[in-house]
Amino acid sequence: MSTYEHGYLIVGCLMLVALVVASTPLLLAACLRPRKPSAIKQATYECGIESKGDSWIQFKAQYYLYALAFVIFDLETIFLIPCAVALNQVGFFAFLEMTVFVGVLLLGLVWEWSKGVLEWR
């Protein structure tokens, strides 16, 4: 067996051990738990208040647009912080790339603003 195959054997063994370690407590809990179903245990619990009506309600798409805009600008921060920290080492070309990246995101923000997506109705 070559060292290349030996490396894959080690990774495979580690994956098998991880699978066993992760699934053993779940299987033990499923086998040892007490089974006493009741209507109260099966009821939906939300903040200590009894649920009323159907759980399938429609949400406004506006909430998802806000969440999507937040994720976009959150990711922008994640990408910009390492560039800002290492700006002296990476040079002017990286600064130009970072400027183009921010420009594209700003164009997206201007488009959202012009379409009225950011206005709460």
Compute the distance between CA of residue 3 and CA of residue 8 in angstroms, rounded to an integer: 9
Has residue 42 been placed in a domain? no
Q: 108 and 73, same structural domain? A: yes
pLDDT of the residue at 43: 73
pLDDT of the residue at 63: 78
Domains in the chain: how many in total?
Answer: 2
The model's pTM: 0.45
Has residue 54 been placed in a domain? no
pLDDT of the residue at 48: 67
Has residue 6 been placed in a domain? yes
pLDDT of the residue at 26: 95
Range(s) of the domain holding residue 89: 61-115
pLDDT of the residue at 121: 66
pLDDT of the residue at 66: 79
Compute the distance between CA of residue 116 and CA of residue 121 in angstroms, rounded to an integer: 10
Compute the distance between CA of residue 94 and CA of residue 68 in angstroms, rounded to an integer: 27
Has residue 45 been placed in a domain? no
Has residue 67 been placed in a domain? yes
Has residue 121 been placed in a domain? no
Tens-digit pLDDT profile for the chain (121 aa)? 788 888 899 999 999 999 999 999 999 999 998 888 887 777 776 676 666 766 677 777 777 777 888 887 888 888 888 888 888 888 888 889 888 988 988 898 888 889 887 777 6
